[in-house]
Chain A
Amino acid sequence: MCNYLIGNVFNDIKMYIFLIFIQNKNGDNMEKRKYQSIVKKYTPKENRLYNALVAFVVGGFMGIIGQGLIDLYSYFLNIPTKEASVFMIVTLIFVGCFLTCLGFFDRWVHFAKCGLIIPITGFAHAMQSAALEFRKEGMIMGLGANMFKLAGSVIIFGVVGAYVFGLLRLLIMGA
């Protein structure tokens, strides 16, 4: 009797699992999966090689400009490379922000993609474009609250990343 009951319960459970299985296979999900294959078929692929190449060349060019500026500052102002590189960063940030305000940096970013986003110009551009956008909603609630809309995560995870890697360095290489 007991065995029979347990057997019955097991059968029920088996049946239930089977039903769920069937439903998943032939019900809603099947239709969705079929549709996903249509979507995949007609969604064009980005030309990644071309994008990477453009980003590589433009990014490399940015590097050359940066190095040129460092050399220029250390030669003319007669300061060590470390200080000259700070000058270089400030210059690039200013130029990035200025071009954003003039209204055509977005077109360059659209073309060069990561070639301009990864260098410091991209960070400056992200902050400046948000600031321009929300200026009309007031200084505190608009500009102040939204300026880090895009750049906020970079700062947060930059700081967290610095802590983690600093700690790793301390543990592996010693103080």
Chain B
Amino acid sequence: MTNKYDNVFLNDVSTVTGPYEAHGPFSKLFDKSYDEFYFNEKTFEQAESKLIDESVDILLNKIKKTRFQIDLHISGDLMNQLTSSNYAASRLGIPYLGIYSACASSVEGLIIGANMVENKVCDNVICSVSSHNNAAEKQFRYPVEYGGPKPCYTTFTVTGGTCAYLTREKKGVRVDSSTIGTVVDMGVKDVFNMGAVMAPAAGDTIYKHLMNTKREVGYYDLILTGDLGIYGKKMLVEYMKTEYNIDLKNYDDAASMIYDIDSQPVYAGGSGPACLPLVAYSYVMEKMRKGEFTRVLLVATGALMSPTMVNQKLSIPSIAHAISLEVI
């Protein structure tokens, strides 16, 4: 399903990161970075919740508004029961929607927000997401200090919180259109190979977006997928070629950009809901401000993985949502 928008603008964004991202290539473009994993909180879960708090605070400061002037807060993360988002929302006191589609939550939030703003359901929306490396490790894999051996093609969950501000006021970047993806299951069961799980979903969504908007691949200055990693990226390129006969041009993957893969211990790149927006709201926004990119397609990919179902020997479904941004 593809929607076009005439009157929705992404006015401002904010980013908060952990230590690994701060040592990556975009370190100077983030609003705030911490150099340890607790952020003066007691546990990793509470630290992740603080990431959302902080990103919302920074954003409100940037747009010079108080939280009482915000109509709606949409937020998502990876934790069970959306813990981080819910606890942050309970402190913020803004009308709140919690959403989950794993690492595709960021764009899902933007799509819901853009539809609400376009149809005048509300005047302004903030969309936040967060992920925390150690909290995710604890929930989905081994205890943090265990450091069990992992294959080299696995990805490293990003620590970060991001927030975006959508209104009808003509400022910042225009939200052009969005495509809501379908859930794809290609029978991959390897929990460490998330790039392989998500690549077909990304391919499906990109294809449908181009079909519905009647655009060529070259229309976009950048097509940015969420967190496929360096190997998943190659899989997507080959899959697009064989399945849809499309040669991906101007294509990159946020997971393989956010870290310096050669020098940092991050396996095949980043992952997590905050991976795509951290790159999009820093590097891509910077480029759009300078006029180097005019049209960008963000494709957030999410592996809808449940450890229970994986233990029951079922394969992992995945989803991808796309949103396109244009310079005004």
What is A's interface to B at a CB cutoff of 8 Å?
31-32, 34-36, 38-39, 41-44, 46, 100, 103, 105-107, 109-110, 113-114, 117, 125-126, 128-130, 132-134, 136, 149-150
Contacts and interface: CB of A to CB of B under 8 A. Distances in A.
B291 interface: no
A39 B42 CA distance: 41
Given A39-B196, A43-B153, A105 B145 contact: yes
Size bracket, chain B contacts: 20 to 34
Interface stretch (B23-31, B155-163, B186-194): B186-194
Interface of B: 42-43, 138, 142-149, 151-153, 186-188, 193, 196, 200, 231, 234-235, 238-239, 242-243
Contacts of B238: 38, 41-42
B154 to A, nearest CB: 11
B145 A103 contact: yes
Contact of A32 (B148, B153, B187): B187
A128 B147 CA distance: 12
B145 A100 contact: yes
A150 B143 contact: yes
10 tightest Cβ-Cβ pairs between the two chains A and B:
A106-B147, A129-B145, A133-B143, A129-B146, A129-B143, A39-B196, A32-B187, A113-B149, A42-B234, A35-B186
A132 B144 CA distance: 9
A43 B193 contact: yes
A150 B193 CA distance: 22
A134 to B, nearest CB: 8
A32 B143 contact: no
Contact of A150 (B144, B146, B149): B146
Contacts of B187: 32, 35-36
A46 B151 contact: yes
A38 B196 CA distance: 9
Nearest to A101: B145
Given A42-B234, A43-B153, A46-B151, A133 B239 contact: no
Nearest to B43: A136
A95 to B, nearest CB: 15
Main secondary structure, interface of A, reads helix
A44 to B, nearest CB: 6
A107 B149 CA distance: 10
Contacts of B153: 43-44
A35 B144 contact: no
A129 B144 contact: yes
B193 A39 contact: yes
B152 A126 contact: no
Contacts of B186: 31-32, 35-36
Contact of A35 (B149, B151, B200): B200
Contacts of B146: 106, 109, 125-126, 129-130, 150
Contacts of B231: 42-44
A109 B43 CA distance: 24
A43 B196 contact: yes
Nearest to A135: B43
B152 A46 contact: yes
Contact of B235 (A38, A117, A149): A38
Contacts of A128: 145
Given A32-B187, A43-B193, A133 B144 contact: yes
29 contacts: A31-B243, A34-B242, A35-B186, A38-B238, A38-B239, A38-B242, A39-B188, A39-B193, A39-B235, A42-B234, A42-B235, A44-B231, A46-B152, A105-B145, A106-B144, A106-B145, A109-B146, A109-B148, A110-B147, A114-B149, A129-B142, A129-B143, A129-B145, A130-B143, A130-B146, A132-B145, A133-B145, A134-B143, A150-B146
Most buried by B among A105, A130, A133: A133
